[in-house]
Amino acid sequence: MYCSDAAATLGLGQSFTATVTFSDSTTQIATPYVQWTASNPAIAVVTRSGIAYTSGKGTANIFASLDGISGSTTLTVQ
Protein backbone atom coordinates (compact mmCIF):
# COMPACT_ATOMS: atom_id res chain seq x y z
CA MET A 1 0.00 0.00 0.00
CA TYR A 2 1.38 3.40 -0.93
CA CYS A 3 0.67 6.82 0.55
CA SER A 4 2.71 9.89 -0.35
CA ASP A 5 4.29 12.28 2.19
CA ALA A 6 2.61 15.63 2.70
CA ALA A 7 2.94 19.01 4.37
CA ALA A 8 0.04 21.02 5.76
CA THR A 9 -0.64 24.35 7.41
CA LEU A 10 -1.82 24.32 11.01
CA GLY A 11 -5.61 24.45 11.19
CA LEU A 12 -6.18 23.06 7.70
CA GLY A 13 -6.95 19.54 6.49
CA GLN A 14 -4.72 17.39 4.28
CA SER A 15 -6.21 14.67 2.09
CA PHE A 16 -4.46 11.31 1.74
CA THR A 17 -4.95 8.60 -0.86
CA ALA A 18 -4.08 4.94 -0.32
CA THR A 19 -3.19 3.00 -3.45
CA VAL A 20 -2.85 -0.79 -3.47
CA THR A 21 -0.73 -2.57 -6.10
CA PHE A 22 -1.67 -6.19 -6.75
CA SER A 23 0.64 -9.05 -7.83
CA ASP A 24 -0.45 -8.59 -11.46
CA SER A 25 0.74 -4.93 -11.26
CA THR A 26 -2.76 -3.47 -11.40
CA THR A 27 -3.57 -0.75 -8.89
CA GLN A 28 -6.68 0.33 -7.05
CA ILE A 29 -7.49 3.32 -4.90
CA ALA A 30 -8.31 1.91 -1.46
CA THR A 31 -8.81 5.18 0.45
CA PRO A 32 -12.41 4.61 1.58
CA TYR A 33 -11.70 1.03 2.70
CA VAL A 34 -8.59 1.42 4.83
CA GLN A 35 -8.36 2.19 8.53
CA TRP A 36 -6.48 5.45 9.03
CA THR A 37 -4.54 6.38 12.17
CA ALA A 38 -2.02 9.04 13.16
CA SER A 39 0.98 8.45 15.44
CA ASN A 40 0.44 11.71 17.28
CA PRO A 41 -3.15 12.97 17.73
CA ALA A 42 -1.75 16.23 19.13
CA ILE A 43 -0.48 16.92 15.58
CA ALA A 44 -3.28 15.42 13.44
CA VAL A 45 -6.33 13.18 13.50
CA VAL A 46 -7.30 11.25 10.35
CA THR A 47 -10.91 10.62 9.34
CA ARG A 48 -12.22 7.43 7.74
CA SER A 49 -12.10 9.17 4.36
CA GLY A 50 -8.35 9.89 4.65
CA ILE A 51 -8.46 13.56 5.62
CA ALA A 52 -5.99 14.59 8.31
CA TYR A 53 -7.13 17.54 10.40
CA THR A 54 -4.19 19.34 11.95
CA SER A 55 -4.18 20.47 15.56
CA GLY A 56 -0.53 21.20 16.32
CA LYS A 57 2.80 21.90 14.64
CA GLY A 58 5.25 19.06 14.13
CA THR A 59 5.45 15.69 12.40
CA ALA A 60 3.14 12.70 12.62
CA ASN A 61 3.21 9.35 10.87
CA ILE A 62 -0.03 8.54 9.07
CA PHE A 63 -0.87 4.85 8.82
CA ALA A 64 -3.29 3.07 6.49
CA SER A 65 -4.17 -0.61 6.90
CA LEU A 66 -6.52 -3.06 5.21
CA ASP A 67 -6.72 -6.83 5.68
CA GLY A 68 -3.17 -7.18 6.96
CA ILE A 69 -1.67 -4.85 4.34
CA SER A 70 -0.36 -1.54 5.56
CA GLY A 71 1.45 1.57 4.48
CA SER A 72 2.57 4.77 6.10
CA THR A 73 3.59 8.29 5.26
CA THR A 74 4.75 11.40 7.07
CA LEU A 75 2.71 14.55 7.60
CA THR A 76 4.59 17.71 8.53
CA VAL A 77 2.44 20.50 9.97
CA GLN A 78 3.86 24.01 9.82
pTM reported for the whole predicted model: 0.83
CA distances from 42 to 2, 4, 63, 67 (A): 24, 21, 15, 27
Q: What is the pLDDT of residues 8-58, one digit of tens each?
A: 889 888 999 888 888 999 998 988 899 999 999 999 999 999 999 999 999
Strand partners, 54: 44
If one counts every other C-beta atom within 10 angstroms of the C-beta of residue 77, the result is 22
pLDDT at 4: 66
In angstroms, the CA 1 to CA 62 distance is 12
Domain ranges of the chain: 6-77
If one counts every other C-beta atom within 10 angstroms of the C-beta of residue 54, the result is 22
Strand partners, 13: 53
What is the topology classification, in CATH, of domain 6-77? Answer: Immunoglobulin-like (2.60.40)
Q: What is the pLDDT of residues 54-73, one digit of tens each?
A: 999 999 999 999 988 888 99
